[in-house]
């Protein structure tokens, strides 16, 4: 089954409650929340208060993507704020600290996940593959919504799907960046089962139809 995770980075921040509530009638399963620190990526977005606020006004799965340096410092607070899935970047700290962060997330009863930036090879997920419930493959450089999809990430996505089939078949495989009606299909063909969509989702006139189309690629 294909799941859709609209990214609220492209929502109307002045009408966040409306946009969050609207989401549950579209058939999307997840809500993607992008956290940026101005260091790991050259942009700032939102923090704990937005995760808690989203938790209060939606029952959907909160899929929180941390684009922050040394996330081990903050993972427990994001779990307490209401994340259901908490994703850290493999590039954001040492292997040892990343593993420790994933254990801390698991101990909080939250699903641990890792993410790889475009220049990071597929093999970088291997040290963590048995510890995670989701792997996120970036199809743009993290930091901004509305960028163009990088089709050349598809071989990496496929390779990670093969790793998962071998050693962690229940782990989800998510793509993030430039995903829309046209690009989602190739992501699914290459093994993704969770599709993040920011600008394409919020620009869609009929959001339920948009979600249905993405899910039809299964
Ligand atoms: C980028 C973020 C994405 C972003 C995707 O750093 O991780 O989640 O919101 O936006 P679109 O779908 O517009 O590329
Ligand atoms: Zn994201």
Record the tokens describing residue 82, joined without a space.
């209401």
Q: How far apart are CA 165 and CA 148, in angstroms?
A: 29
pLDDT value for 128: 98
Q: How far apart are CA 169 and CA 150, in angstroms?
A: 25
Active centre residues (catalytic): 34, 176
User: Residue 142: CB within 6 Å of ligand 1?
Assistant: yes
Phi, psi angles (nearest 5°) of residue 140: -150, 165
pLDDT per residue over 112-139, tens digit each? 999 999 999 999 999 999 999 999 999 9
In this structure, the residue with its CA closest to atom 4 of ligand 1 is 145
pLDDT per residue over 139-160, tens digit each? 999 999 999 999 999 999 999 9
62-88 burial: b if 16+ Cβ within 10 Å, else e = bbbbbbbebbbebbbebbebbbbbbbb
pLDDT value for 121: 98
The answer to whether the predicted template modeling score (pTM) of the entire model surpasses 0.85 is yes
Q: Give the up-direction half-sphere exposure of residue 43: CA atoms within 13 A in the CB hemisphere.
A: 13
Choosing from 149, 198, 202, 207 the residue with most ligand 1 atoms within 8 A of its CB, the one to mutate for a pocket test is 198
Q: How far apart are CA 105 and CA 66, in angstroms?
A: 13
Torsion sign across C-alpha atoms 204, 206, 212, 217: negative
Q: Which of 185, 181, 213 is nearest to 199 (CA)?
A: 181
* Cβ-based neighbour number of residue 155 at 10 Å: 11
Instruction: Give distance in angstroms: CA of 182 to centre of ligand 1.
Output: 16
Counting ligands in written order, which one lies closest to the CA of residue 148? 1
The answer to whether 86 touches 60, Cβ cutoff 8 Å, is no
> What's the rounded mean pLDDT across residues 197-207?
98
User: Residue 140: CB within 6 Å of ligand 1?
Assistant: yes
């Amino acid at each position: 089954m294909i799941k859709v995770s609209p990214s609220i980075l492209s929502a109307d921040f002045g009408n966040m409650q409306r946009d969050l509530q609207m989401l549950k009638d579209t058939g999307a399963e997840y809500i993607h929340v992008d956290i940026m620190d101005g260091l790991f990526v050259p942009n700032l977005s939102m923090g704990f208060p937005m995760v808690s606020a989203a938790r209060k006004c939606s029952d959907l799965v909160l899929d929180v993507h941390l684009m922050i340096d040394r996330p081990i410092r903050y993972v427990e607070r994001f779990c307490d704020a209401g994340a259901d899935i908490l994703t850290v970047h493999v590039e954001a700290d040492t292997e040892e600290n990343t593993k420790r962060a994933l254990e801390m997330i698991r101990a909080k009863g939250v699903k641990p996940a890792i993410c790889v930036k475009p220049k990071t090879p597929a093999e970088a997920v291997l040290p963590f593959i048995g510890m995670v419930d989701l792997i996120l493959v970036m199809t743009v450089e993290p930091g901004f919504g509305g960028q163009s999809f990088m089709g050349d990430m598809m071989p990496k996505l496929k390779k990670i799907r093969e790793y998962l089939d071998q050693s962690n078949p229940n782990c989800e495989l998510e793509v993030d960046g430039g995903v829309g009606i046209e690009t989602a299909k190739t992501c699914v063909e290459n093994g993704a089962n969770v599709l993040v969509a920011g600008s394409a989702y919020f620009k869609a006139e009929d959001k339920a139809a948009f979600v249905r189309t993405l899910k039809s690629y299964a």
